[in-house]
């Protein structure tokens, strides 16, 4: 089975978007010119698993921002819902286990797992190996959370933390098996 890897930005109070999905706080983080390691992370990724809500957002990006195949996790969508301009890149999967099985069928070793609910489902399934979490120095008060309920505590191993002149603080954690 492929291993799941997270690379995500949160507010200090742990939100990945405003309640309406707004990312303005992220876009105004004033960190242009800093290398936060996204490309190095992506260079080691074979495919992406993304929640349907995040997919709805990235569909608005022009140009399409990914050069890896994308599995969209959804119980509602089917292949007819995929816009034609991304149809060559995108496949719908209905569960975490279907996503992992599809990744394995394609020979993937490492998948980028994106979207809060999706990351939570992968964590609960024991399918995340490590997480790079970049904290933006802002409190939002409310929003869509990165983390949520789990079946049990999940101890993490801190690997490294680095900070940037903009005030971004990035930590990497491994999820011991």
Ligand X SMILES: NC(=O)c1ccc[n+]([C@@H]2O[C@H](COP(=O)([O-])OP(=O)(O)OC[C@H]3O[C@@H](n4cnc5c(N)ncnc54)[C@H](OP(=O)(O)O)[C@@H]3O)[C@@H](O)[C@H]2O)c1
Start-to-end CA distance of the chain, whole Å, equals 14
* Cα angle: 24, vertex 28, 33; to 5 degrees: 135
Contacts of 159 (CB under 8 A, 6+ apart): 130, 171, 172, 173, 174
Shortest spacing between CB 137 and ligand X, in angstroms? 14
Q: Contact letters (x/-) for ligand X, 12-41, by CB under 6 A?
A: ----xx---x-x--x---------------
**Residue choice 144, 170, 172, 175 for contact with ligand X (CB under 6 A):** 144
Residues within window 81-140 making contact with ligand X, judged by CB under 6 A: 94-96, 114-118, 121
Check if the beta carbon of residue 133 is closer than 8 Å to that of residue 171: yes
Q: Does 57 bind ligand X (CB under 6 A)?
A: yes
- Indicate the residue among 107 and 138 with the shorter CB distance to ligand X: 138
Buried b (16+ CB within 10 A) or exposed e, 69-81: bbbbbbeebeeee
Q: Where does this chain bind ligand X (CB under 6 A)?
A: 8-9, 16-17, 21, 23, 26, 51-54, 57, 73-77, 94-96, 114-118, 121, 144
């Amino acid at each position: 089975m492929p291993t799941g890897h997270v690379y995500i930005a949160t507010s200090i109070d742990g939100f990945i978007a405003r309640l309406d999905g707004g990312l303005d706080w992220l876009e105004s983080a004033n960190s242009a010119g800093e290398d936060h390691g996204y490309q190095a992370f992506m260079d080691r990724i074979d495919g992406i698993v993304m929640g349907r809500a995040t997919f709805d957002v990235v569909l608005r990006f022009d140009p399409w921002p990914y050069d890896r195949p994308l599995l969209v996790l959804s119980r509602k969508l089917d292949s007819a819902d995929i816009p034609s301009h991304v149809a060559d890149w995108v496949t719908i999967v209905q569960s975490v286990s279907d996503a992992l099985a599809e990744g394995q069928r394609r020979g993937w070793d490492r998948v980028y797992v994106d979207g809060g609910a999706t990351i939570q489902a992968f964590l609960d399934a024991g399918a995340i190996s490590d997480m790079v979490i970049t904290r933006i120095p802002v409190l939002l008060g409310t929003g869509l959370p990165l983390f949520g309920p789990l079946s049990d505590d999940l101890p993490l191993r801190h690997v490294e933390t680095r900070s940037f002149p903009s005030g971004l603080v990035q930590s990497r954690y491994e999820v011991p098996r």
